[in-house]
Amino acid sequence: MKSDTLFKLSDIRFSYDSEQLFDGLNLLINQREKVVIKGESGSGKTTLFRLLLGFETPDKGSISFKGSVYTDTIIRTMRKEVVWLPQDLNLGTGKTAELMDFIFEFQSNSQNKPSRPEIIDTLEALGLEAGTLASNFSELSTGQRQRIGLACCLLLNRKVILLDEPTSALDLESKRKVAELLLNNDRTVISTSHDPWWVEKCDRVIELNNIS
């Protein structure tokens, strides 16, 4: 029988600048789960994302993706299925349309390059007007930038989305639109959040302060 396990962290020990963040961390995240990672500042939420993405290597222990322990090849395979959105997306300066188009110029993303109507439909589903594309990205509000980032995640059509505080700058109506698009499907969504509304909508909460 095929396992539904997506990520498995086994006995992870990790230190950063002589500070031990994890010592014996064990964690399972299943495919299609909507999981919230919680913890105090400094508990290692961002580091956990970096470990999952293969940007950091544990001092001890192993990380697996769909049953295969991380190697360079497995990490490359994993990254083709995963997209990560930081809390405040910084795409640089320029028109929003140009910066969004640039994301799809990378070889790994080019096969999912959307048409302009698809981009507009996605923006409107998130409560953004088509005219946002003509705006300078750096002049958008934090909430608008956050939704542009979410639109990019959706348009990339990856099976796994990692989100850092995805609703921190959104009003309730925008949160509802985001939840409808991200949580009512078979994607795996792993997020950090201090937003009780978002936490309530997800399947499971993982408290880093209480995990072993």
Per-domain boundaries in the chain: 1-81+159-207, 91-156
The pLDDT, as a whole number, for residue 100 is 86
Q: What count of Cα atoms within 13 Å lies in the side-chain half-sphere of residue 120?
A: 7
Look at residues 120, 114, 127, 116 and name the one whose alpha carbon lies nearest to residue 176: 127
pLDDT at residue 212, as a whole number: 45
CA distance 166 to 122: 16
- pLDDT by 10-residue block (mean), the chain, 212 residues: 84 89 94 93 88 96 97 96 86 86 80 89 95 92 92 93 92 94 94 94 87 50
What radius of gyration, in Å, describes the C-alpha atoms of the chain?
Answer: 17
pTM of the model: 0.90
Q: Which of 83, 85, 88 is nearest to 138 (CA)?
A: 88
Give the rounded distance of the alpha carbon of 144 from its chain centre.
17
Quickly name the fold that domain 1-81+159-207 has.
Rossmann fold (3.40.50)
